Amino acid sequence: MVSRKPPDGGWGWVIVVVSFFTQFLCYGSPLAVGVLYLEWLDAFGEGKGKTAWVGSLANGIGLLASPVCSICVSSFGARPVAIFSGFMVAGGLMMSSFAPNIYFLYVSYGIVVGLGCGLLYTATVTITCQYFDKRRGLALGLISTGSSVGLFIYAALQRELIELYGLDGCLLIVGALSLNILACGSLMRPLESSSSPPSEKMFVDKVPDQYFVYHEKEKTVEENISILEKGYTDEKCVNNVPDGKQDSILNMNALSSINVNEKDTYKKKVVEQTNFCKQLAKRKWQLYLTYWKETMVLFKNKVFSALFVAILLFDIGGFPPSLLMEDVARSANISEDDYYMPLISIIGIMTTVGKLILGILADFKWVNTLYLYVTTLLMTGVALFAIPFAKSYLTLAMLSGILGFLTGNWSIFPYVTTKTVGIEKLTHAYGILMFFAGLGNSLGPPIVGWFYDWTQEYNTAFYFSGFCVLLGGFLLLLAALPCWNACTNQSSKLPPNTYSYKVASNA
């Protein structure tokens, strides 16, 4: 089947809708895991750091395994992966309802659900990009809001289900809801035409020439010499026997010559296949070497190196509030009667608003996207420093809204990456950055929880979180200042695929 040009509409809008609901259903519970976190603390009696690993794994493992997820979607297609991942998410949530200890949750909720979410994210983004070209930014923006809306709704939903049916019943019901991912996945029809497949010659023409070059000519010559010598010996034997037996020997020689030809053809095929495998392995090894060389070139870019540190520190410090804010409110002795809305729901709805507004701002030519991203990092650090001073529901709700809005900077992160490394290196660079983002997501909440276990209060933990985010923001700001370009004006010496980010150009 031959892939068609992206239609930028038609069935593509169905893909957008089902991708939105897929992200809504799979990310709703992991992003709103802060509600479950309180129940797990009470149920298992473990420390906050150890318990926080469950939610951090569920949100970080998908990013850490993003290369594996991409390979799966490329090999099997978006629809089969989405259906299989739906079973993973639903099964992991239902298994978590029977968890006897926190270690069981690490596997059932942290790894199984987290990996299923990573696969579904890759599948939805891939199938959407296949159906859209000119409107790709709009389509990706619409489906990305599914996770934020899921956080907003699932925070209140899980809290209500826990009050009605308990923690186990809540996980069973949420897992059953996740089975709707199967219906969404079944609608992810591949973008293929019904035309006849290309001829075999077209496939042969596309194979690199080095795959047909074999360096075993010496062996084939030796084999031919041995075959000729064998034939000469057989001929001498035929001439020395009586005439009566000569016909039978000739018949036997004819059969043996056919046998020799078959063996020769077989040996030739074995040699060709062996050399093909050697050439393929050599080609793969060259690709790996090229990948690491390109990675080293990326890290020679000062802005990219600072961006890598900033995204790691941002996720270490900025992700814990979405998981721990409910426990912060309980630690501040805020009565449940004062709750008008779960704090995690506020973070979720404001993240949606932040994604849309920051994404719109990034489209203006007079807005420097890198400076805009740095501003969100610095403001996030200040808001994290303010959490220890919040002693009422109103102040915590305001800080939750601010942090949620600033977390929407994920929508402009691809813009910043593109400006930093260029469109040719975007996929490579973005994969590296997402890996370290997943590492930050996995480490952030446990570190904050360990701080609480050591000090029995959250003040030091959020001072540490704020310091991490501010440090990342300042490093990125220093790397992006115009003076760096004046001191190291080496953009012309970089390989043609890299792009030196000139901050002053858009200021």
How does pLDDT run across 128-154, given as a tens digit for each residue? 878 877 777 677 778 888 888 898 899
Most confident of 172-176, 327-331, 482-486: 172-176
Q: How far apart are CA 442 and CA 63, in angstroms?
A: 10
Higher-pLDDT residue of 312, 75: 312
For residue 384, the surrounding DSSP H or E stretch is: helix 369-386
pLDDT band, residue 291 (cuts 50/70/90): low
Q: What is the DSSP letter of 109?
A: I
Task: Report the pLDDT averaged over residues 490-498.
Answer: 42
Fold of the domain spanning 1-192: Growth Hormone; Chain: A; (1.20.1250)
Residue 459, pLDDT score: 87
Residue 193, pLDDT score: 53
Residues 6+ apart with CB under 8 A from 150: 23, 24, 25, 26, 27, 28, 29, 31, 32, 348
Residue 204 pLDDT exceeds 60: no
Q: Of 465, 464, 460, 456, give the one whose Cα is nearest residue 47.
A: 456
Residue 200 pLDDT exceeds 70: no
Task: Determine whether 255 is exposed, middle or buried from the number of CB atoms within 10 Å of its CB (0-12, 13-18, 19+).
Answer: exposed
Asked if residues 318 and 443 have their Cβ atoms less than 8 Å apart, the reply is no
Q: How far apart are CA 86 and CA 184, in angstroms?
A: 9
Cβ count near 37 (within 10 Å):
21
Residue 201, pLDDT score: 40
Angular region, 166: left φ>0, alpha ψ -120 to 50, beta rest: left
Q: How far apart are CA 173 and CA 212, in angstroms?
A: 57
Residue 474, pLDDT score: 92
Task: Report the pLDDT averaged over residues 57-64.
Answer: 86
The distance in angstroms from the start CA to the end CA of the chain is 47
Residue 168, pLDDT score: 93
Residue 283, pLDDT score: 74
Residue 406, pLDDT score: 92
Higher-pLDDT residue of 239, 157: 157
Task: Report the pLDDT averaged over residues 314-336.
Answer: 82
Residue 247, pLDDT score: 53
Angular region, 127: left φ>0, alpha ψ -120 to 50, beta rest: alpha
pLDDT band, residue 391 (cuts 50/70/90): confident
Q: Please provide residue 335's backbone torsions phi and psi, each rounded to the nearest 5 degrees.
A: -70, 145
Task: Report the pLDDT averaged over residues 19-40.
Answer: 90
Residue 369 pLDDT exceeds 90: no
Task: Report the pLDDT averaged over residues 36-45.
Answer: 89
CB burial string 441-475: b at 16+ within 10 A, e below? bbbbbbbbbbbbeeeeebeebbebbbebbbbbbbb
Find the angle CA(122)-CA(465)-CA(448) to the nearest 5 degrees: 85
Residue 393 pLDDT exceeds 50: yes
Most confident of 71-85, 99-113, 315-329: 99-113
Higher-pLDDT residue of 412, 284: 412
pLDDT band, residue 267 (cuts 50/70/90): low
Q: Give the side-chain half-sphere CA count within 13 A for 69.
A: 24
Q: What is the DSSP letter of 389?
A: G
Task: Report the pLDDT averaged over residues 339-350.
Answer: 83
Task: Report the pLDDT averaged over residues 394-400.
Answer: 91
Asked if residues 130 and 84 have their Cβ atoms less than 8 Å apart, the reply is no
Quickly list H helices, 481-501: 482-487
Provide CATH code, domain 274-487: 1.20.1250.20
DSSP states along 233-260: HHHHHHHTS-HHHHHHHHHHHHHHHHHH
Task: Determine whether 144 is exposed, middle or buried from the number of CB atoms within 10 Å of its CB (0-12, 13-18, 19+).
Answer: buried
Asked if residues 184 and 25 have their Cβ atoms less than 8 Å apart, the reply is yes
pLDDT band, residue 102 (cuts 50/70/90): very high
On the question of a common fold for 1-192 and 274-487, the answer reads: yes
Rounded mean pLDDT of the chain? 77
pLDDT band, residue 503 (cuts 50/70/90): very low
Asked if residues 54 and 106 have their Cβ atoms less than 8 Å apart, the reply is yes
% of the chain with per-residue pLDDT over 70? 75
Higher-pLDDT residue of 460, 283: 460
Q: How far apart are CA 268 and CA 257, in angstroms?
A: 16
> What six digits make up the tokens of 172?
């069973």
Classified as helix, coil or strand, 335 is coil
Asked if residues 8 and 132 have their Cβ atoms less than 8 Å apart, the reply is yes
Quickly list H helices, 135-242: 136-178, 180-186, 200-206, 217-239
Length of the chain in terms of residues written: 507
Residue 80 pLDDT exceeds 90: yes
Asked if residues 414 and 277 have their Cβ atoms less than 8 Å apart, the reply is no
Higher-pLDDT residue of 332, 243: 332
**Looking at this protein, which amino acid is placed at residue 172?**
L
Most confident of 72-76, 110-114, 205-209: 110-114
Residue 116, pLDDT score: 93
Segment among 29-33, 176-180, 200-204, 288-292 with least mean pLDDT: 200-204
Segment among 62-76, 199-213, 342-356 with least mean pLDDT: 199-213
Q: Please provide residue 342's backbone torsions phi and psi, each rounded to the nearest 5 degrees.
A: -55, 140
Domain residue spans of the chain: 1-192, 274-487
Residue 178, pLDDT score: 94
Q: How far apart are CA 128 and CA 122, in angstroms?
A: 10
Residue 128, pLDDT score: 83
Residue 82 pLDDT exceeds 90: yes
Residue 407 pLDDT exceeds 60: yes
Q: What is the DSSP letter of 388?
A: G
% of the chain with per-residue pLDDT over 90? 25
Task: Report the pLDDT averaged over residues 103-118.
Answer: 93
